[in-house]
Chains A and B, each alone.
Chain A
Amino acid sequence: MLKVNLLTRDGASIAFDAEPSDTLLDAATKANIFLPAVCREGGCGTCRVTRKTGMVALGPHSKAALTDADRAAGDILLCRAKACSDLELTAPFDKAAIGFSPIPERSARVTEISPAGAGAVRLVLQYEDDPTHGRATEFIPGQFMELTLPGTSITRAYSLANTPNWDGTLEFLIRLHPQGVFSAYLKNEAKIGDSIFVKGPQGSFTADEASQAPRWFVGGGTGVAPMLSMLRQMAEFGDAREARLYFGVNTQDDLFALDVIEDLKKSLPHLAATLCVWKPTPDWNGFEGTPADALAAALAAESAHPDIYVCGPPALIEATEVVSLSAGVARNRIFSEQFSPA
């Protein structure tokens, strides 16, 4: 049995034992420590941590989840790594993102499905009252839920766009993929009152509350959902720090949640939002390009470094990391979450 010690972003030390035959994720689970993970197959990068000392055997994984540069910097994926020696690891998330009891599985009903721009929908669910959890929606903004496609065991992970609340509401912004099974359900079958199983909250993509730096959010398409959740929570808490939102879509038609962003600007006086359209029609007079382009320009004009939060497709995350690093933002001040395939 080998000893693993994981130091969280907020300085907590999480220790567990690992058999060399278990992935680190499984070893932690055996110790009733539920570390952030989504695909568990080396594809999403949610469970990425940094190895400080010790050796691991790293199984096959997607280059999008763990680039060669990440690997060279010592990063590993907990779902793909098996310990070959005692290990010291550091995690880019807080202890609060770690579960010490199994993740709740609850039942919810569809209360709203409406278009969110040309290629996405806004899905609102309502938890059913249950004796173990009541009807409260508890999570940390930035976290996601796994939704089960009714009548199947197929699950998909979607970030919450609203904030924790006491009436049991769960709000999602979901991109409709042409071949996606959940997308097909949402497009063709879903109706008010449908029952959906919800497993969560999960995920470690949450605001670093210990940091006092400005927060700059970069969202690609429905990757803006967790950003809206974090910003809404900042508004609820009266967090007056500087914040920026770079929200990118392909065409103007894809834009959505503009009313939410306008409301946020009213309650967060230091929030500036930039809508970025990649391929606009000639009548667009906003920013033309990707949110990473907009971010690069803004970072160049700024001397102090913000914390960067990015969610969206792999290419956006990579571009955001590149422009942030080259502007001098420290690697551990860039927090990212990739879309999982729908």
Chain B
Amino acid sequence: MFCYQCEQTYRSDEGAGCAGPKGMCGKDATTSDLQDVLLHVCEGIGQYLHRARVLGATDADADRFVLYAFFTTLTNVNFNAGKFVELIQQAAQHRDHAKALYEKAAQTAGKTPERLSGAAAFIPAKDMNGLLAQASEAAVKKDAATLGDDVVGLRSLVLYGLKGVCAYAHHAEVLGEERDAIYAAVEHALDLLASEPKEISPLLEEALALGHANFAAMEALDAANTGSFGTPVPTVVRMTPIKGKAILVSGHDLKDLHAILEATKDKGINVYTHGEVLPAHSYPKLKAYPQLVGNYGGAWQDQQKEFADFPGPIVMTSNCLIEPQARYRGRLFTAGPVGWAGVRHIENGDFSQVVQAAQALPGFNEDAPVETVTIGFGRDAVLGVADKVIDAVKSGAIRHFFLVGGCDGAAPGRNYYTDFAEHAPQDTMVLTIGCGKYRFNRHDFGTIGGLPRLLDMGQCNDAYSAIVVASKLAEAFGVGVNELPLSLIVSWFEQKAAAVLLTLLALGVRNVRLGPTLPAFLTPALVNVLVEKFGIQPIGDAKADIEASLSRAA
């Protein structure tokens, strides 16, 4: 096993990366190695699909499979080694179909099909032991000795950015929103990775291309979410339980939440959101269900305690899953790309078992004291009051905007984000996305000119909303986004965040402060490139960073 895709990867003086029998996330070496093999076979799919698409032939099933397969390999998604043996065989079948598709398209076009090597020609073993023996061919670091850590690190940036793109595109796809441009970009990136690139510049270009692809994926997901469930509106959400039977829905997937709300209609069961599902409360068609009563708990890293204390079934619809503890393992269900050996998986959107579990489990015995937060400041809600905002900026009532957002995690250094948000001066607004918000979203920020000072814009993918708002404001002020009184204070943990970061870079957004640590796969040389080309800065001291941001604006 070697993996350094997430922020919490093992770091020591000798270098970074999880290489033991088990990664810091809890993924074991077997699963990690099988995931490497799966990604390798998917690269082979991409080699054929990319060439077929150039000739006008596409395979939507294979494209969708790649999104799903990549999603299973994100941090904290699927830990079930047995599942990967199955997925690798499916990937090989898709690759064979893609090969036939490409060869037929080439013949139709009167061309001789290329004979592809590498991932395209890799024949995965049929069983676990055989696959594990092949894993070294697919290992992330296999060329480090010959090519050096810079190239390998940049390949990793592309691979992990691609994972984020695939995850967002999968969320959109399950709700029926797909884009040819996304599939073309995914295939292109797979083909590039399969070619085992040895130079820095094509990889850097690909990373930025994936940033654009991710913008398209987030746009598609925004269209999927708003198209299915309406445009988010400011909403007060209860953060404490009420008496009664209960289901907790965690992850990110609004489609699964909707299916659970349908399944619990008139059943006397309350449904709570957890983690990144909190923004669901702001979507009109979801908040219309009276049994969607509130949010329970905070960000993903607290789930072992929160799930243990929750007196009903828990559904994990996407990342971030961590090792299920005995106290709740039996009432935990996974759905979509998520999996853990020995935990029930819902395969087909049929949540009736979860309903049965909720009825059998005790639920909450009493109401807890009321606590609330206000959410739902997506692009429409903010742009709806754009005139007020613009006036407030012109009058000096709003001096600066801080977007403090991204992933949360357990690392102590993440207190920075709490400090930053809470110490931002009263004449500044704090926008937030992702689960990092739980570090400060119960803090009373007050208001500016009738507007709340803290605007919760939604999930991590609602970075799209933030970018749209920033672009519109820039337009209104007649400046570029980088000239706005806006600083981005980004926390990252996993590969969705890596994709969002690539989007910001691709769109030319400069001066992003990134933490709590920089990705381990970025070597000092690569970090220098990011600093020089894009002005990325590591986080420092919260108060000093606030001062620095404000003086840049002044």
Binding site for B on A (CB under 8 A): 11, 95-101, 130-136, 138-140, 164, 166-168, 207, 209-210, 212, 233, 236-237, 239-241, 304
Contact = CB atoms under 8 A, between A and B. Distances in A.
A202 to B, nearest CB: 11
Given A140-B330, A210-B28, A212-B30, A96 B325 contact: yes
B318 to A, nearest CB: 20
B359 interface: yes
Contact of B341 (A134, A167, A209): A209
B360 A135 contact: yes
B327 A136 contact: no
B362 interface: yes
Contact of B326 (A98, A131, A241): A98
A164 B328 CA distance: 12
Given A166-B353, A209-B341, A239-B82, A134 B362 contact: yes
B360 A207 contact: no
Contacts of A135: 360
Greatest chain B CB density within 10 A among A11, A138, A207, A239 is at A138
Interface in B348-393: 353, 356-357, 359-363, 365
A136 B326 contact: no
Contact of B361 (A99, A101, A136, A233): A136
A11 B21 contact: yes
Given A131-B362, A236-B344, 7 more contacts: A130-B362, A136-B357, A139-B330, A166-B353, A207-B342, A212-B82, A212-B128
B208 interface: no
B543 interface: no
B53 interface: no
Nearest to A233: B342
A96 B359 contact: no
B330 to A, nearest CB: 4
B345 interface: yes
Contact of A237 (B329, B344, B360): B344
B63 to A, nearest CB: 26
Contact of A99 (B28, B323, B326, B362): B326
B32 to A, nearest CB: 13
Contacts of A131: 362, 365
Contacts of B363: 134
A241 B81 CA distance: 12
A42 B342 CA distance: 31
Chain B contact patch, size range: 20 to 34
Given A166-B353, A212-B128, A239-B82, A140 B326 contact: yes
B22 interface: yes
23 contacts: A95-B323, A96-B329, A99-B326, A100-B326, A100-B327, A131-B362, A131-B365, A132-B362, A133-B362, A134-B311, A134-B362, A135-B360, A164-B330, A166-B356, A166-B361, A209-B341, A210-B30, A233-B342, A237-B342, A237-B344, A237-B345, A239-B82, A240-B82
A138 to B, nearest CB: 4
B171 interface: no
A134 to B, nearest CB: 4
A54 to B, nearest CB: 23
B21 A136 contact: no
B331 interface: yes
Contacts of A133: 361-362
Contact of B331 (A96, A138, A240): A138
Give the one of B22, B28, B128, B330 with max A CB within 10 A: B330
Contacts of B323: 95
A241 B128 CA distance: 11
Contact of B82 (A11, A130, A166, A241): A241
B20 to A, nearest CB: 9
B397 to A, nearest CB: 51
A100 B305 CA distance: 11
Nearest to A97: B326
A168 B359 CA distance: 11
Nearest to B358: A166
Contact of A136 (B85, B128, B331, B344): B331
Contacts of A212: 30, 81-82, 85, 128
Interface string B34-71: 00000000000000000000000000000000000000
**Most chain-A CB neighbours within 10 Å: which of B21, B81, B85, B360?**
B360
B126 to A, nearest CB: 13
B325 A166 contact: no
A303 to B, nearest CB: 11
Interchain residue pairs A-B with the least CB separation, the first 8: A166-B360, A209-B341, A209-B342, A96-B326, A134-B362, A136-B360, A138-B330, A166-B356
Nearest to B345: A237
Contacts of A164: 330
Contacts of A241: 82
B200 to A, nearest CB: 38
Nearest to B31: A210
Contacts of B331: 136, 138
Contacts of A210: 28, 30, 81, 341
Contacts of B344: 236-237
A52 B341 CA distance: 28
Contact of A140 (B30, B85, B128, B329): B329
Contact of A134 (B28, B326, B361): B361
Contacts of A11: 21-22, 28
Contacts of A96: 324-326, 329
A310 B342 CA distance: 20
Nearest to A165: B360
B360 A168 contact: yes
Of A99, A101, A237, chain B has the most CB atoms within 10 Å of the CB of A237
Contacts of A132: 362
Interface string B133-156: 000000000000000000000000
A168 B357 CA distance: 10
Contacts of A236: 344
A239 B345 CA distance: 12
Nearest to A11: B22
Contacts of B326: 95-100, 140
A101 B327 contact: yes
Contacts of A134: 311, 360-363
Contacts of A166: 353, 356-357, 359-361
A290 to B, nearest CB: 30
A99 B359 CA distance: 24
A25 B245 CA distance: 36
A164 B360 CA distance: 12
B38 to A, nearest CB: 15
Which among A133, A136, A237 has the highest number of chain B CB atoms within 10 Å?
A136
Among the interface residues B311, B341, B342, which one has the most CB atoms of the partner chain A within 10 A? B342
A97 B345 CA distance: 21
Contacts of A95: 323, 325-326
Contacts of B360: 134-136, 166-168
A206 B82 CA distance: 18
Nearest to A127: B360
A130 B360 CA distance: 10
A240 B21 CA distance: 25
Nearest to A234: B342
A237 B360 CA distance: 20
A111 B344 CA distance: 27
Interface string B313-328: 0000000000111110
Contacts of A207: 342
A210 B32 CA distance: 13
A167 B359 CA distance: 9
Nearest to B86: A240
B129 to A, nearest CB: 8
Nearest to A213: B128
Contacts of B325: 95-96, 100
B364 to A, nearest CB: 10
A135 B85 CA distance: 37
A212 B33 CA distance: 14
Among A131, A167, A209: residue with most chain B CB under 10 A: A209
